Every structure is written in C-alpha cells, then in structure tokens.
Structure 1
Amino acid sequence: MVKMKHGALFSKRGLWVICRKVMFVIFLSSSFLTRTYAQDEKVSFEVQNAKLTEIISILEKSTGYTFLYQDEQVAAVKNLTFRFTNERLSVVLTKCLAGTNLVWSVEDKTIVLKREEKVGAQQQQVKSRKVSGRVFDETGQPLPGVTVMIEGTKLGTTTRVDGAYSIECSDSKNLALLYSFMGMKSKRVVVGDKSVIDVKLEEDVTELEETVITGIYTRNIETFTGSVSTFKAEDLKQISPQNVLRSLSVLDPSFIITENRAQGSNPNALMDISINGKINVTDLSQEYSTDPNQPLFILDGFETTLEAIQDLNMDRVESISILKDASATAIYGSRAANGVVVVETLKPKQGQLRFSYTGNFTVGWADLSDFNLMNAAEKLEYEKLAGAYKDSNGVNLDENGEIINESQRARYYARLKLVKEGYDTYWMNEPLRTAFTQGHNVFVDGGDRAFLYGVGISYNNTQGVMKKSSRDVLNGNIRLSYRVKDLSFSNQTMIGKTKAVNNPVDFSAYSQMNPFYAKRTVDGEVPKYVYRESLAGANNYDYVWNPLWDYQQASTNETDTWSVTNNFQIEYRFLTYFRVRGNLQYQMSKSEAERFRSPNETFFAKTDADKKGTYTKNSSSNNSITGRLNLTFGRSFGDHTVNGVAGMQFSDKNQESYGFGAQGYTTDQFSSPNFSSSYVTGKPSASDSKSRSVSYYFNANYAYNMRYLIDFNLTTNGASQFGINDPFTTTWAVGVGWNVHNERFFC
C-alpha cells in the first residue's frame, strides 16, 4: 500500500518544452549545484509494505529527479515501510537502500542506483569501459541535454553544455547506445570497439510542426487551448507559388477572401479578407487601418499591413499560423477581434556559406466562359421587350408589339438597321491579355555557433490580365544574430520598393457596350464615339463613347512606394526556467501616387477647354516605433507542465500626407503641372496625424499529463484614439482543453 501525504512539486526529467532553445536554457542551469541540491531538497511521504519501485515513483514526482537503474536489481527490494516528514532527500535515499546491496549517486538531475562494488569481487565482475563523445545537430552545433541511454537498461547520462558526454558500460561489442532529444529523431549506435562516439541528430520535422507561434510566445500545440491552424511553406507552395493569402484560403475554410468584382484580377487591389466571416460593417475601405472586418497581421513578431503580406515572396515564408477565436483577442486586444495571421520568415542556419535560388513563372488569362452574353439581335429584342423604348407615360408596346412612341420607335429601327447590316461586336476581350508573372528569390546564409548571417533579395513581377496593369515588388533583407553564453542579439533590416501601374479604363466600360456598335471604322481606325443620336435642337447629339479611344490616350495611373524596416531583438536566459526578451522595431515608408488624364479622353468631351485634362499627385509618409518587453517561464515537473508570459508593448506612429491637383492641358504629350492652366481646387490638401498606444499582457497555461489543459489570457490596451477620459480597455479569455487522443483508451 502506498500513501502519499504531500510533497513539493519540482521539475522532472523528460521536459515537455516548446522548442530546442528552451531546452538549451534549461540545461544551462548551474549543474555544479546539483549534488548539493539533491542533498538539501526535502520531501514528505508515508509508505507501508511498499516496493522500492513505488518509492522511486513518488520521489520522481515530488522532486523532479529521474532515476536510472536496472529493473532486476530494484525489483527484489520490497516490503518497505517508512514515514518521512520534511526529510532531506539524501537521508531518504540512504534509509530506503539500507540493508540492500544498492548505492546511489547523482549526475546532474539524474539519480543512479547500482550495486555496491565489494572488495575481492571485482575480478568476478564483467569488465567495463568508458565511452565518450559529443552530440551535434545537423548544422554542427553542439546539443546540450541529450539523453544517452544504454540499450536494455535504465542506465544513462545527459550531454553537457558543449554536447560532450561520457558513460560507463560493459565491455561488450553488441552493446548499443540510444540518443534522444526533444525535437530530434532518436538514434541507435552500436558501440563495438569504439571508445569515442560522436553523433549527429536530425530534426524531427513532424514533431517541430506541433508548435503554435502567436507572435509573442511559442507553445506546444498539445497545451494550447485556442483555435489555431498552422501551415508550413511546403503546404502553401503546393497550392499557389505566388501568393500566400490565396494558398491560405484553400487550405483553411475559415480564411475567406471575398471576390471583388469591381477590381477583378487587378494586381494592385488589396484583398478583402475575413476569418470566420464578416461581423462588422461592410463596404468600408480595404485599407487595413480602417477595415473592421480584417484580421490582424503579424510578421516576425511585429504588426504589419495587409499590403506587406500580400507582396511577401512565397520563398521567404517558413510558416503561417491563423489564430481564430477569442484567445487571439485576449493576446493582442480589440484590434485582433477578427483573428490574427502570424507569419514567420526563414532564418539563417549554421554551417558553411550556402547560396540558394528559387524562381517561378506562371501564366494567367481571363475566363470569359461564364459571360453568356446575347448577340446583337437578341440584345436589341430584349431592350424592346424590357421597355427601353417606352414613352414618358411608361407605355411601351401596342397590341401588335410595335413601339408606340414615334421618337423611340425611330431609335429602335436605327439600331435594328445596324443589326441587319451584320454588326455583332464582342467587346469583352478588348482590354484583356495573357498575363505572365515571375518571381525570383536569392538567399545567402551561413555562420557558426556564435554568429549567423543571412542576406536575401527577391523580385516579383505580376502582370494584370487587364492591359496596362502591373505590379513590381523588389525586396532586400539582411539578418544577423550573435550569441554569447546566455545572451543573444539579432537584427533584421528589410528594404522594399514597389511600383503599381493601374489600367486607365475600367473593365466595366467595355462590358456595358452594346454588341450592335462597331469598335472601329471600315478603315481600321478607332473612332472617338461608336454611335450618336440626334436630340432636340440644332447640333445636339447624344454620344456613345468608345472605350478603346480612351485606352489609346496617354493617360497614366501609377504609385511608387518604398519602405525601410529594422527589427532588433535582445534575449537573456537565466535561472534555468526564465527568459527575458526585448524587441524594438523602426519602420518608415513613403508613397507617391500620380494620375494623369489626357485632355483627349471622352470624359472631357463636354468640358470647357481650360479644364480639360487633369493631374493629381498625393504623397504620404509614415514612420513608427514599436517596442516589446516580455518575460517567459516554462517548467515541467512530473505530469505537470506550466508556462507563463508577462510583458508590455508600446507604439508611436506618425503619418503625413499632402496632395494637389492641376487642370487645363492642351495636349497629353506633357503631364507636368507646369503645362496646366490652374489648380483643380482652391488650395492643396494636407494632413498630419499621430497616435500612441501601450498594452500589457499576461498568459498562464497549465497542462496535466498532456491531457487536461487550461489557459488564461489577459490584456489591457490603451490608445490615444480612445481619448483621455478612458484610454484603456481590458480583454480576457479562459480556455480549457482535453487531448482525447492522449487517453489510454485511444492508445
């Protein structure tokens, strides 16, 4: 019978940590204090007629130490009855092993039980030897904390900070060692005649994928209670090699892209995105800062814009996580009420200098098969029956199906004449083309254990299916990281240049044209108008303008944007289970949008000469500083896993914009305002805005045996937009989870 009264909960071997870096921190705790700690740690429990294995189980749960022993040696020790109250662990071990031939010793966080070597019996024992070596990862970086076990026994050790280990084992050529580490594939090595064995472990991709990255902290998906979907770069590329957002909409049904029929395939239009549908006012601007239905976007830990994610080169992406429920709001506040999209880019890897290039090329065209349009005769007959030629009293046809109003009847028969002459024009294909899109990415990285570097450049050229529409995106990035003992620094600089060219004539101008109008004259010329009808009065006509005429003019609509972003991070690990991290981001962008409308456009046909042709220019500049400081804690003891994060974030954003318009051009050969006659309005426009925000957040997570979970999130957000009377709002969330697949009846 085993009766446990109480016991302090400390860490246990076999940690369920989030990632290898946290394992590294845990192992860096002062190992030279281990033996003293084992002697001073105190426990309390009571057993009656218990087996030694039962006492070992109690001590493992209450102290966090792992016991290594041979089963047959320990199984023989039974019928133990003790009662310990706040007794030192060293005393407990000595009393429990008294009268047996077992002794104990401590190595790091491991207590080894083995037979006591008696004088005179050593010649009868099996000859032993020492095997030593080091354990590395795929890049050659030493791995601390790797478990090295003798196959078939519970005897083993762990690697030190430099990845080195040594272990006593029997002198048998068939002996094998087992190497295991969180996030890595286990490896079995036969010792043979070797006394030095160096091992390289490979990453276990399936295990590494079982993590959730929120942008503030990383969690094992087994302990995360929120609703989340995570996708790797390989998953995204299988769907679309060009756009990460398009791939997400296919992979996750909750990630919805609403098709904008007015914009069509315009490469410069921002997507209308929502997670789990729209819950706020619709038909607002697509600009991220003003669309209440759009999710929050996080790039490498910092808030970013929809445009930045939409322009992101697919080959730079490492993973994307979508946070969908109230936990996202509790982490980031009200601005994440519609979910969060967290994007992580590739980081440089240790090793020799590597050069990589990836490129892709796609072809696109417009599918007009859904446009089952009427021909010229059908369209004219439809207009007649639909009442397009009715009189002012609303009367359309007589009993014989003839148009009653004389003037309207004349309009109808003039158009019918065109149909009889064989005019049946298809307008929809005129503004379209076969679009070619290409993307290129070059990345150079390398470094050693202390210093890593990565330099990359990417270029995307996207042609729109509409003629005279395109988008060119050029990005460069430099990523450096340096580690010295428990302190690490990293800095990432990104520079981007974007040129957006928009088509001068909308697709709707073509789709609204009647098929009984001719595009061109018999000489092949493009006329300014395709049809005209006489109205009351001399020289008074109603014109049907030709969109092809406007397309041929020297009108332009272009936007140039460039941006610079710098992310700096410093991290310090201390006291085994703690990590403090500081992040600072500076971002600056400038944009210039210019639009020139030729004075020859049909839009100005009835405009005074001194107002024909317009030029508008709008410039904007943005700069922001964002900082974050957080403290994280992670520890496992026995069947319990506890994680916690507390921190704060601040931001300071400034935006300036100005614009002006000019009018009155005599020719479209020159678009400079110098050739205009006046301003469009009385004076130029300008605006200047500043905003500041600060947030405090806390997260606590507990998991029992990786089966039962509870999560608590709390955040308080303050912003200058809220006013001075009540600038803060608080959001919290509690989540519970049950990993049914970890239950015994599922195993």
Structure 2
Amino acid sequence: MNQRLLCFLFALTSLIGQSFAQNRQVSGRVTSASTGNAIGGVSVAVVGTSVATQTDAEGSYTLSVPTNSTISFSSVGFEAQRIPVDGRTVINVVLTDGTEALDEVVITGYARIQKKTFAGASSSVRMEDFSRQTVGSLDAALQAAAPGVSVVGQSGQPGTNAIVRIRGNGSINGGNAPLYILDGMEISAADFASMNSSDFASVDILKDAVSSAIYGSRGANGVIVLTSKKGSQGPIKFNYRSQFGFSNLPKDRLITMNSSQKIDYEMQRGNPYGWSDEEADSLRNVNFRWTDALLQKGKTQEHSIEAAGGGENSTYFGSLSYFDQDGVVKTTGLKRYTARVNLDGKKGSWRFGLNVSGGFSKMNRTVEGDTYTNTPLNAARWSNPYETDKIPGTDLWNQDRGGGPGNLISGQPNGAMELALDYNWRNQIKGLGTSYVEFHFPFLDGLYARTNWGIDYTQNENAIFNDPRTSGAQARNGSLQRNMDRNFRYTGTTSLNYSGKFEDHEITAGIFAEVVKNDYRRFGFTGYGFTNGFNNETGITAGSGTNTNYIPSVFGDGNQAGLLSYFAMANYGYKDKYYLNLVGRRDGSSRFGINRRYANFGSIGATWSISDEEFIKQVPVISNLQLRASYGSNGNAGDAEYPLPLFGRITYAGVSGWSPSEAGNPDLTWEISKTTNVGVNFGLWQNRIFGSVDVYNRETSNLFYNIPVDPASSGFTTILGNSGTMTNSGVEVDLSVDVIRNNDLKWTIGGNFTYNKNRIKSLPQDSLVQGITILAEGHALNSYFLVNYAGVNPENGNAQYYDLDGNIVEGTAYNASYKVIQGTSDAPYFGGVFTSFSYKGFDFAAQASFFIGRKLFNNDMVNLTHPQYYWDNLSVDMLNEWQNPGDITNVPRPGTSGGNAFQQETTRYLENANFWRLRNVTIGYNLPASVLDKAKIRSLRVFVQGQNWLTATKYKNYDPELVTNGAHSGAVYPTMVQTTFGVNIGF
C-alpha cells in the first residue's frame, strides 16, 4: 500500500468520525510537576467504564463524561490521579514524578479498574520495554517482565511461540497455556507470528482468581489481556519505525571431535571403515565445519508506520508493518505483513467503535525435536568432520560414495543436501475484527449498556516436501504433504454497567451475557512419485491398482465447540480506603455431557489502603501501603471433544469403514482451580522505592486423567475422566528503586522474583512412569525418574550405578528398578532484573532473566556419547574413555562384554540447566526539538538493541532454555543472538 493510499484511508476515517454530533465534554492539559512540560500518551479514563482516551503530544485531551463521574490520569513514571468531574468542563492536571505502577489502571478485558481499588494479583507490562524487542512472536518478549510468569522458548525458529506458564502447571492433560484476550476476543499464541506487537497499547497479566474468575471456565491458567492502540484528538500524526540487524548462533557447549580426533578414535575402535594409513592421514586434515554448511548469519528488518488523530467526536488509529527475519539455519525464516484500523466515535449518548486487523505470514521451517538421522539439525553434529557437503572442487552433492543415494560414506544422510532440496513452510492468514456499541442512559449518570462482538479467523496452509534424491525418499520417489486448516471463532458480549459515587460510597457493577462459538476444519494429503522434475503438485504421479506405490494418503477432521456464559461483577469502595471486589459466573460448554455441562465460578477480594489512614500519614517514610486478599475459583475445559465416542476412518482388506477412536465420557466435567492470594503494595520515600509482594496457593481438582478401564467392555484401555489434585503455591516479589530522579537524570533499577512449588497431591495411579519422567504424589509435574550414575570402576572400566539403598553396583547388576525421582524441568525459582538510565536525550536500558533449580535431560549428549554410534561423529568427552586399569574417568569402556551395556536412562545425562541471560539491551538517543523543528519533524530517536547477548550456564548445549516435552530430544533449533539498529520518526 503506497503512502497516497494510506493518507486517503486515514482522511476517510477522519471524515467519518467528524460526522458524529458534538456532545458534552471535559477537556484539559496534563503537565509534569517537575518540568512543567506537557505529557503525551497519558491514559485518561472514566473510572469504572471503558470510556478512555490518551493525551496528544501537547498533553491535551478531550473526553465525553457523565457529570458525576471520576476521571483517572495515569502515565508511566508519574503518580496517577483520580479527579471528580463535579460538573466542570475544563480540568487541567499536574502529575508528580514517581512510581509507575501504584495507582494505574488494570484492564481485565471487560472493564478498566483502578489498581488502588483492585484486590487481584496482576501485572502490567511496560510497553516501552515490550516494544523494544524484535521478536517474531510477541509472547517471547514477556520473559522476566512480570513475577509469576514463566516464559521459555520451545524453538529458536522465527515466529515460533513460547511456552508461557502463569503460576505453574495446573493440569496434566488439560493444557496449561494462559488465555489470551485481544480487544475482548480470545486469540491463540500460535497466531502471534501474523500479528504486529507494535500495535498493542497495553499488556495486563491476570494471575489470581479475583483477576481471572470473570473468565470462568477459561481462566484457570491465568489471562493475558492485550489492548490495541487508539487514536487521540488532534491533527493527524505519523510515526515511522525501522530496524535492521543480524543474528548469530549462540555458543555451543556440546563440543564434537575434529577430524584428527575422530580418525584417531576410529583407529582405537578397530578402524571400522578400513582406512589406509595414507587415507587416514589425509582425512585428519579436512576439519569440515558442518555448521557452516547448515547455519548462517541471519538478517532482520522491520518497518512500520502508524497514523493517529481525530476530532471532538471521533478518533482513529491505523498501522502498516513489514517484518522479515532470516533464521540462523539456512532456508528458514519469517516474513510478515500486517495492517490495522481502529475507529472510535460518539454521538450524544452513543459510543461506537470498530477495530479491524489483518496479517499474512510465511514461515520457512526445518524439522526439529526428533532424533532421526535425516534431520539437518542432527546432521550438524552427527556428520563426520572429515566428510564434506559437496565434492571438493565441484558443485555436486557429496553422496552415494558407499553410503547409498543421499548418504555420506558413513551412511549418514547429507544434511546440507536435504536442507537445500527439501522445503517446509506454513502460510498463515489472520483476520480479527471487533466492534462495540455503547449507550449511556441520560436519566442516570454512570449507567450504560454495551454490546461487543468480534470474529477471529485463522487459516494455515502447510507444505512439507522431500526431494526424491534425498536419503530415505527414493523408495517412493519423494513425497509432498499438503494440508490446510482454518479456525473461525466469534465472541459476543452484552452488558449493563453502572458506576457512581455517593458521599463516602463508590459502586461499580455490571451484569454480562456472553457467547463464544468455535469452528475448526482440516484436510490434507500426501502424494508421491516426483519423476518429472517438478517439486509441487504438478510432480505427483497418480497412483493406481497396478501402481500402488504412488497411491496418495488423505486425511481430514474438524470440530465445533460453544460456550454460553452469564456473569456479574461488582466493586464497592468506602471512604477511598476500603474496597470489595465480587465476581460470579455460570458457564455452559458443549465440550461436556448434558449432565455436567454447567458449572459455577466466582471470587471475592478485599483491599485496604492503609496509607490513607491517619495513623500512617504521620509516618513520612511510607508513601503507599495497601493490603490485598482474595479467594475464588476458575475452570479449565481443555481442547478436545469429550461427551460422545469419537469415530475415525479405518481400512480393512481394502474396504473403508468406521472405528471408535476415542471413548466418550458423558460425566466428564471441568477441572476446577481454587486460588487464595494475599498481597501487599508498597511505596517508600515518596515512592522512590516501590513494589509488591504476593503469597498464593492454587489447588486444581478434578484433573483430566486417563483412567484405566477393562478393554473387554469397549476395546479401550483408558477413558478420560476427572480424578486427582495438583497444587501450586509460592511467593512473588516485584521491586523498583528510583536511585536518581530529577529533571535531566533518572536512574532506575529493579527486578522480580518468583518461587513456585508445584506438587501432585493425589492421583488414581501413583508413580506412573512415562519414559524418563514420572507422575507421583508429592512431587512436581515433569519430574525425572532415572537411575543414579556412580561413574566408572577404575579397575575394569565398567559403568557403576547406585541401588535404592545407596550402594554402588556395576553394570552387571544394573536394574531399572533403581530409578528414583531426580528433579524437574520446571524451574521453581525464576525472575529478572532490569535497569534504565536516561540523561537528557540519551537513554539506556538492560534486562536479564534467570531460572534456578532447573534440570534437563540432555538427549543430544546421549547420541554423541553412545559407544555404538562411533560410525558417526561423537562428543570430545569420548576421548576420555577408560583404557587401562587405574584410569580415572567418567566415561566407561566402549565394549558391552562383562555386563557393561550402555544405559541412557541415568543421571549421567541429567544436567544442571540453571541460567542467567542478558535478555535485552537498548541504547538510544532522542534528537532535541531545536534541531527537529527546522526539519518539521516532531520526534526522532535512533537506537541499537541486542537480544540474548550473554548466557551463563553449565548446560552442555546451545541453549539451556529450549525444551521439548520436558527434555531435549535432539535437533532443537537454537535461540538467536541478535543485534539491530533502528530509528523512530514522528511527524
């Protein structure tokens, strides 16, 4: 879209807004007490309603409000104020520099609530910190941003969403991801690759029951509420943002052998390839770096333009963005295009709004998270260093030289060849639209009705192609898997709300009715026989009865689900010191049988503003002190369809038919989480030191669990039911200190810390072993279950282990019954620290994250230290194998005779995965207005920012953060170390 078309779009929306009739208004200007300068971007909201705006660059605002309402003014770095209107039409406000989180607005998705009046445990993410980071999926930017929120990556592939947990895991089979709400609509984290994070104005994280109980059956795992940017009154303003940068591979702590080391090791193991002395000497000097053939320096560029403005009765905001990021693995990357238009208007007692956004993204991916030899990410380590990707001096792939087509001499697939010839991509189309109509009743100030409706449409198109020349693809001359899925969700919420203040009493209340409907469909096929040179559908050979090798496979499925809810919320305040929050909700879900379809949820919370008591006002050191307490319940409905048995397609003797694929359970119902929370907000010495402390206990009952049943009755060995209890209890601390705070210089340091203790309280089957993990009462989810490794017997080189009594036994006496619970992959201690510094036009900010008490099973190390895998490359640790009696080493002799069989399910491969990471660093400079005025530019900022520049850990791999099913299972795409340079221009 060119600039002319963009200008036309915003001019059109402005004309539409100007058509609304004038209404009674309050206007004014907001300035800083310390400098007297105007403050732009201040949140101006009518307490207890959704009516809000922001000040423009000159600090001016205009807002239509009821006569007896109260307006809140809040901005980062200033103490918020609440001012009664009392019939005035002009209210100028002076904000005092101070805390950035003591009295701000909390957005729950259904209402804006002053934090002073709110008993819930919530965190608001600073948008300037959030928008600094150049990420393909915006949830990755939440790491270390708030206490109680654990964010770890599951892949470094551009656009892949992170694993986010709020106050731990609360379910075994029902899902633990939080609920994401954008402008009142539920969205999925998997769709963030097609959304522009710069479009968001606020991110609020709701953690306890009084915060999230209003979402009832969807809020058990916490709620992350995002709101998009709005326009502001005044002339149209444009902002352009651009970034360019590069990314590199992080440090690899799992070192493999070079050519000389590997040849010497092979000779020690009997020269399996039969190298002559001349061949061996030649190969020792090759030292080919497979990482150079498979990996690259990635590049990133981002461009976005925003426009905002409005008149007395309408405001508008629009944006366009382009994001292009190459991954550190060749051929991988993300391209994204997004557009957004937000309109808000008013006429008399009516309010209108429309938010529309669209996005398109293309992710080029590579296979990861497995241990297959044809995965390029595995080949980077497993391929021998004396072999090359191409025949030296040619452009021909090195293959079929003893190992077969597509293979190296070792029989290992040529990973570089597969990465270049195969492809794996996903195209996503994302559309979001929300609209609202609001009517303020003229006969009673503070009473209004609102209806909000929105749609969320996601369409994914996927393709995975295996070239017929690559290893393992020759049997059917290659394959192409294509599939398409789409998900359509609509949400409608209608409410009647009231907000009023009578002498010492303040009441905000609302009753709501809501419907959510979701429709999902998927279909696809896998075709074979690429013999005509094409690598798309044109290349597929049609299968037949006489050519069965090329008969394609097809698949498809879908589901529908609906949720009907009625709920109410009420907040009561007395003398601006005592507050009570109440929420009640009843949900009915199609996911459950008719007998268990409805459930009730609710919460109660109370807040005492102690610092407003006369006896505390006499203590000058205390600027703010609030005590909060809450208790309530939420639900978790999971993702599958449970009431009736599910059937799937089956073929027997060439005949297609139906077969039960999942047993139904009409008595299945919600998992129920009940949370108790006690918290304190505090500010000291004029809020130079401020923060909060929360203590919580969350208990989840009616866990979704596969309960064993007699297969003779149904053919199934288990049926999904409700049984078991799990708890999460912990402490959250958030602290900030303004070390220096004056007109030109400000320095702030702070951080957050979380301790979360996860425990399975009861199960129908205690100590259920699942590979290397165990579900056991009294222990955490994702607990490891392994035999303790005791090293190597220096006399004979045999591996040694501990039995259950702590005695050392040799491999001849190894028994899997010696397994004991070892720890968990979920860190019980985590958090972050930050600092920000500004002097006149210069600014500096840095943020680090940490995870403590975390263990990971290093499956990459298993494959690189297995003594029978010596045909391929190995870890340098294998150079320390036991050789002679008296050798002191941790690596057993390679033979299996004498009971020295290789055992991998031991603590030999369980490693300390604690880490500290310098998550983000930003250095910027804002050019002074005296320079910009000459060029007629409103603002200009240049900056450089880095991500993941430094990681401190003892874990032997690229990244201690990335996990797959609780353990590194091989082929994990490393996190990128990134540096970008950027500019922000306002005009």
TM-score with structure 1 setting the length: 0.65
1:551 counterpart residue number:
419
Give secondary structure in 1 for the equivalent of 2:308.
Answer: strand
- The 5-angstrom pairing of residues 324-343 of structure 1 reads 324-343=207-226
> Which residue of the partner structure matches residue 558 of structure 2?
688
Partner SS for 2:292: coil
Task: Name 1:316's counterpart in structure 2.
Answer: 199
1:727 pairs with 2:612: no
- What does 1:519-598 correspond to in 2, within 5 Å? 519-529=389-399, 532=402, 543-553=411-421, 555-574=422-441, 575-598=444-467
Distance 2:153 2:451 in 1: 40
1:592 partner letter: E
2:127 alignment partner, one of 219, 224, 233? 233
Query: Which piece of structure 1 moves more, 663-672 or 576-585?
Result: 663-672
Query: Residues 552-584 of structure 1, C-alpha deviation per residue, up to 9 Å, x if partnerless?
Result: 32x222222223322110111221122221101
Distance 1:259 1:24, change over 3 A: closer
Q: 2:296 corresponds to which residue?
A: 433
Match of 2:365 in 1: 502
Which of residues 251, 269, 272 is equivalent to 2:160?
269
- Distance in 1 between residues matched to 2:250 and 2:48, nearest whole Å: 53
State which of 504, 510, 513 in structure 2 corresponds to 1:645: 510
CA distance in 2, matches of 1:522, 1:466: 23
Deviation at 1:207, TM superposition (A): 8.4
Shift of 1:227: 0.9
What do the CA deviations read for 1:261-307 (whole angstroms, capped 9, x no partner)? xx3x211433222122333338xxxxxxxx71111001112111103
Which one-letter code corresponds to 1:224 in the other structure?
F
Of 325-334 and 658-667, deviating more is 325-334
Amino acid at match of 2:170: I
- The CA distance in 1 between the partners of 2:62 and 2:605, in whole Å, is 40
Give the structure 2 partner of residue 411 of structure 1.
272
The verdict on how the C-alpha distance between 1:529 and 1:257 changes in structure 2, with shifts beyond 3 A counting, is: farther
Contact 2:103 2:116 in 1 (8 A): no
Instruction: Name the counterpart of 1:302.
Output: 185
AA aligned opposite 1:443:
E
Amino acid at match of 2:184: G
Q: Describe the SS at the equivalent of 2:177.
A: coil
Q: Does 1:718 align with 2:609?
A: no
SS of residue in 1 equivalent to 2:596: coil
Over 3 Å counting, the alpha-carbon distance change for 1:733 and 1:726 in structure 2 is same
Larger displacement relative to structure 2 (273-282 or 473-482): 273-282
Shift of the alpha carbon at 1:593? 1.3
1:612-627 mapped onto 2 (5 Å cutoff): 612-627=477-492
| Cα shift at 1:315 | 2.0
Kept after mapping to 2: 8 A contact 1:280/1:293 = yes
Q: Cα–Cα, structure 1 residues 376 and 204, in superposed 2: closer, same or farther, change >3 Å?
A: closer
SS of the residue 1:349 aligns to: coil
Q: What secondary structure, in the 3-state scheme, does the structure 2 residue paired with 1:497 have?
A: strand
Q: Which whole-Å CA distance do the structure 1 matches of 2:582 and 2:598 have between them? A: 20
Structure 2 letter corresponding to 1:652: K
- Structure-2 change in CA distance of 1:560 and 1:623 (3 Å): same
Change (3 A) 1:680 1:495: farther
Q: Secondary structure at the match of 1:641?
A: strand
Structure with the larger helix share: 1
Amino acid at match of 2:487: N
- The 5-angstrom pairing of residues 356-395 of structure 1 reads 356-379=239-262
Between Structure 1 and Structure 2, whose CA radius of gyration is higher?
1
CA-CA distance at 1:642 after TM superposition: 2.7
Aligned residues: 536
Q: How far apart are 1:383 and its partner, in Å?
A: 7.2
Deviation at 1:506, TM superposition (A): 3.4
Q: Distance in 2 between matches of 1:714 and 1:238?
A: 38
- What corresponds to 2:383 in structure 1? 513
Shift of residue 317, structure 1, vs aligned partner: 1.5
Aligned mate of 1:219, from 68, 92, 113 = 113
Distance (Å, rounded) in 2 between the aligned partners of 1:157 and 1:469: 56
Q: Secondary structure of 2:128's match?
A: helix
Match of residue 45 from structure 2: 20
Deviation string, structure 1 residues 400-433 (Cα, Å, up to 9, x no partner)? xx76xxxxx2417639876533233332232111
3-state DSSP class of the match of 2:60?
coil
Distance 2:133 2:336 in 1: 21
Q: Judging changes above 3 Å, is the alpha-carbon distance between structure 1 residues 206 and 604 closer, same or farther for their aligned structure 2 residues?
A: closer
Where in structure 2 are there 5+ consecutive unaligned residues?
Answer: 1-42, 52-57, 71-82, 368-374, 544-548, 624-987
Inter-partner Cα distance in structure 2 for 1:353 and 1:414 = 75
Could you tell me whether the CA contact under 8 Å between 2:389 and 2:416 is conserved in 1? yes
- Residue number among 283, 293, 301 corresponding to 2:176 in the alignment: 293
Aligned with 1:529: secondary structure? coil
SS in 2 for 1:428: helix
Mapping 1:83-232, distance limit 5 Å: 138-139=60-61, 160=87, 163=89, 184-185=93-94, 210-232=104-126
Q: How does 1:450-461 map to 2 (within 5 A)?
A: 450-461=313-324
Does the 8 Å contact 2:181/2:223 carry over to 1? yes
Instruction: Identify the residue that residue 659 of structure 1 maps to in structure 2.
Output: 524
Summarize the Cα distance change of 1:417–1:650 in structure 2 as closer, same or farther, 3 Å threshold: farther
Paired residues of 2:565 and 2:588 also in contact (CA < 8 A): yes
The 3-state SS of whatever aligns with 1:602 is coil
The aligned residue for residue 536 of structure 2 is: 671
Q: Secondary structure at the match of 1:429?
A: helix
- Over aligned residues, Cα RMSD in angstroms? 3.5
Q: Secondary structure at the match of 2:291?
A: coil
% identical aligned pairs: 22
Change (3 A) 1:324 1:526: farther
- Checking the alignment, whether the CA contact within 8 Å between 1:661 and 1:680 is kept in structure 2 is no
- Structure 1, gaps ≥5 residues long: 1-17, 27-135, 148-155, 165-178, 188-202, 283-290, 385-401, 404-408, 535-540
TM-score if structure 2 supplies the norm length? 0.50
Distance verdict in 2 for CA 1:224–1:327, change over 3 Å: same
Matched, 1:700 2:609: no
- Quickly say closer, same or farther: Cα 1:595–1:142, change in 2 above 3 A: closer
Separation (CA, whole Å) in 1 of partners of 2:50 and 2:196:
33
SS at 1:509's partner residue? helix
Give the number of the structure whose residues are more often strand, by fraction: 2
* Structure with bigger RCO (C-alpha 8 Å, 6+ apart): 2
Q: Could you tell me how far apart the structure 2 residues matched to 1:225 and 1:329 are? A: 12
What SS does the aligned partner of 2:472 have?
helix
- Are the structure 2 counterparts of residues 327 and 412 from structure 1 closer, same or farther at C-alpha, using a change threshold of 3 Å? farther
Partner of 1:355: 238
Q: Which residue of 2 aligns with 1:191?
A: none
Q: Is the 8 A contact 2:340 2:356 kept in 1?
A: yes
In structure 2, distance between residues paired with 1:272 and 1:327? 24
- Given that 1:25 and 1:576 are in contact with CA atoms closer than 8 Å, whether structure 2 keeps it comes out as no
Instruction: Give the letter for the 1:366 counterpart.
Output: L
Structure 1 residue aligned with 2:496: 631
Contact 1:621 1:657 in 2 (8 A): yes
Does the 8 Å contact 2:376/2:419 carry over to 1?
no
Q: Which residue of 1 aligns with 2:281?
A: 420
Equivalent pair of 1:25/1:573 in contact (CA under 8 Å): no
Is the contact between residue 461 and residue 485 of structure 2 (CA under 8 Å) also seen in structure 1? yes
Report Cα offsets for 1:443-472 as digits up to 9, x if no partner.
223221222223321221122111111111
Distance 1:464 1:492 in 2: 32
Query: CA separation in 2, counterparts of 1:330 and 1:713?
Result: 7
Question: Which amino acid counterpart does residue 436 of structure 1 have in structure 2?
Answer: K
C-alpha displacement at 1:483, in angstroms?
0.6
Match of 1:107 in 2: none
Distance change (3 Å), C-alpha of 1:587 and 1:146: closer
